[in-house]
Amino acid sequence: MKEVIFHGKDMVKTFGEAKVLHGISLELYEGDFTVIMGPSGSGKSTLLYALSGMDRLSGGQLFYKGNDITHASEKELSYLRAEEFGFVFQHTHLVSSLTLEENIRMAGLICNSMSEKETNEKTDALIRQMRLEKAKDRLPAQVSGGEAQRAAVARAVITKPTILFADEPTGALNKANTEEVLNLLTVLHAEGQSVLLVTHDREAALRGNRILYLEDGAIVGELALSPYQGKSIEREQELASWLEGFCW
Ligand SMILES: Nc1ncnc2c1ncn2[C@@H]1O[C@H](COP(=O)(O)OP(=O)(O)O)[C@@H](O)[C@H]1O
Ligand SMILES: [Mg+2]
């Protein structure tokens, strides 16, 4: 049995009068590459923010590793975000005055559970893994979008997060850079990293082994896929015919 990372019960989120999450119940499991797909405005980012402690629910309950964090203090949530979760977004949010290498290292240094020695070793290993040897001494403005996003992924995983949250991480990238970032996420998942990816890109969704479809703030479908082993027409067709059910 896979460990349950998150268990949400009847999660509701409202902004003023607008109900954005309509009572979502779900479990997310360790070792899964879970993908949330759905049209723009369906509540994907809102759900990711609620799970990751970046925002609070308006109703329902949320458990993290069995602990009720629905009403956790801001301090507890910030601990989870810093020490237990990793984040990648469409835009990298790298510190513009630091080199890529410094950006990655800094994330390790501010994590309480990592020593300086471990941080340095992990930074070097990630730079090799992300193939950033040539770009590591440059500032974010001086590298390609793909290099910057690879550095952002490295920064997100240096602390060995329980789960990596990725909200449209390829949304601002061209095809080649998208492929590179997706390959990295695939490798990290194969190494055991749990991932929650929000996307409306089919190519990105194909990397997951569990796909949830969100529509108007409710989960209306779920597809189980085998772990990604490379491109396959069968896999693409399986996803495509499932998505047809949602008029995708
Ligand atoms: N901070 C906010 N205040 C008001 N409405 C919001 C806020 N954030 C999101 N929404 C609304 O919630 C809905 C879902 O948004 P979002 O979760 O960003 O969708 P998605 O990520 O699927 O595109 C949209 O109608 C959006 O306008
Ligand atoms: Mg979004």
Ligand nearest to the CA of 14: 1
Q: What is the 3-state secondary structure (H, E, C) of 170-187?
A: CCCCCHHHHHHHHHHHHH
- Kindly state the helix (H) or strand (E) to which residue 152 belongs, with its residue range: helix 145-157
Other CB atoms within a 10 A radius of the CB of residue 70 amount to 17
| Sign of the CA dihedral with 74 first, then 77, 83, and 86 last | negative
pLDDT over threshold 90, residue 146: yes
Task: Find out whether the beta carbon of 42 lies less than 6 Å from any atom of ligand 1.
Answer: yes
Res. 157 pLDDT band, cuts 50 70 90: very high
**pLDDT tens for each residue of 17-74:** 999 999 999 999 999 999 999 999 999 999 999 999 999 999 999 999 999 999 999 9
Q: Is 64 helix (H, G, I), strand (E, B) or coil?
A: strand
pLDDT at 184: 94
pLDDT of residue 156: 97
Residues with CB under 5 A from ligand 2 (ion): 44-45
Q: Which amino acid is at 33?
A: F
Band the pLDDT of 199: cuts 50, 70, 90.
very high
Measuring from atom 18 of ligand 1, which residue has the nearest CA? 45
Domains of the chain and any CATH numbers: 4-95+162-244 (3.40.50.300)
Spacing, Cα 29 to ligand 1 middle (Å):
25
Q: How confident is the model over 90-136, as pLDDT tens digits?
A: 999 999 999 999 999 999 998 888 999 999 999 999 999 999 999 99
Phi, psi of 162 (to 5 degrees): -60, -40
| pLDDT recorded at residue 111 | 86
Residue-wise pLDDT tens digits, 215-246: 999 999 999 999 999 999 999 999 999 999 99
pTM, two decimal places: 0.96
Nearest atom, ligand 1, residue 198 CA: 21
